Amino acid sequence: MVLKREKVLSFLNFIVTMLLTIVFIFTVLLVINSKTSGENTTIFGYQIKSVLSGSMEPDIQTGSIIFVKTGGDMSRFETGDVITFFVEENMLITHRVETVESDGQMYITKGDANNGTDIEPVHAENIVGEYTGVTIPYAGYVLNFANTKEGAALLLILPGVLLLFYGLISIWRTARKFDYKKKEMKSEAD
């Protein structure tokens, strides 16, 4: 019974160690990618964008991150597609296409939570890409924090410290088991 319990604990220890390692590596890669590419964090060909307003709620909540598929023909979009585009202030907006004009060269867009359509039509050359439908709620707050000096330092250091602390606990437990077995063997010899 004790042996089975030790095997289960050992397996759980392995799983937790692997998960912490994966989270650490993913965080390091995300922070480094975010720092080197500025605001254009890309994973597997998809740009990650933070949502700063509630114009697309309830489907896309403020503070979420969304995945945007970039590239391709920017005149391919149809009514109902959700696109990410630049506006004059060099700001990104993600809204739904309401009307397609000029054979896909201009789009009239609207935020789902907004009362009316956007004032300016979107030109095809200002489109970054299409929203994929993948949203991670509240992760945008973390991504925005990671783009600060303090956030980058914390997100690089904290997972490493946690992994180191967990490793020290594992070593301590193993050393305790070794001492216990050593004492058992000594008492059996006496």
Q: What is the pLDDT of residues 27-48, one digit of tens each?
A: 667 666 666 665 566 667 788 8
> Do 157 and 93 share a structural domain?
no
Question: What's the pLDDT score for residue 96?
Answer: 93
- Let me know if residue 114 belongs to a domain: yes
Pick from 11-20, 116-125, 145-154 the range whose average pLDDT is largest.
Answer: 116-125
> Do 43 and 19 share a structural domain?
no
Expressed as residue numbers, the domain containing 24 is 1-38+147-170
> Do 116 and 104 share a structural domain?
yes
Q: Print the SS3 string covering the chain.
A: CHHHHHHHHHHHHHHHHHHHHHHHHHHHHHHHHHHHHCCCEEECCEEEEECCCCCCCCCCCCCCEEEEEECCCCCCCCCCCEEEEECCCCCEEEEEEEEEEHHHCEEEEECCCCCCCCCCCEEHHHEEEEEEEEEECCHHHHHHHHCCHHHHHHHHHHHHHHHHHHHHHHHHHHHHHHHHHHHHHHHHHC
> Do 98 and 29 share a structural domain?
no
Question: What's the pLDDT score for residue 41?
Answer: 65
Q: CATH code at 132?
A: 2.10.109.10
Is the entire prediction scored with pTM above 0.75? no
Mean pLDDT value across residues 84-89: 86
pLDDT digits (tens, 9 = 90+) for 147-187: 777 877 777 777 778 778 888 888 888 778 777 667 776 67
At residue 20 the predicted structure's pLDDT band, cuts being 50, 70 and 90, is: confident
> Do 107 and 25 share a structural domain?
no
- Among the listed residues 34, 53, 64, 187, the single catalytic one is 53
> Do 105 and 64 share a structural domain?
yes
Mean pLDDT value across residues 138-144: 79
**Domain count of the chain?**
2
Q: Is the pLDDT of residue 55 over 70?
A: yes
Share of the chain above pLDDT 70, in %: 84
Q: Is the pLDDT of residue 189 over 70?
A: no
Annotated active-site residue 53? The verdict is yes
Mean pLDDT value across residues 65-88: 87
> Do 11 and 30 share a structural domain?
yes
> Do 126 and 45 share a structural domain?
yes
> Do 111 and 44 share a structural domain?
yes
Strand partners, 56: none
- Let me know if residue 127 belongs to a domain: yes
> Do 68 and 43 share a structural domain?
yes
- Let me know if residue 177 belongs to a domain: no
> Do 93 and 14 share a structural domain?
no
Q: Is the pLDDT of residue 95 over 90?
A: yes
On average, the pLDDT of the chain sits at 81
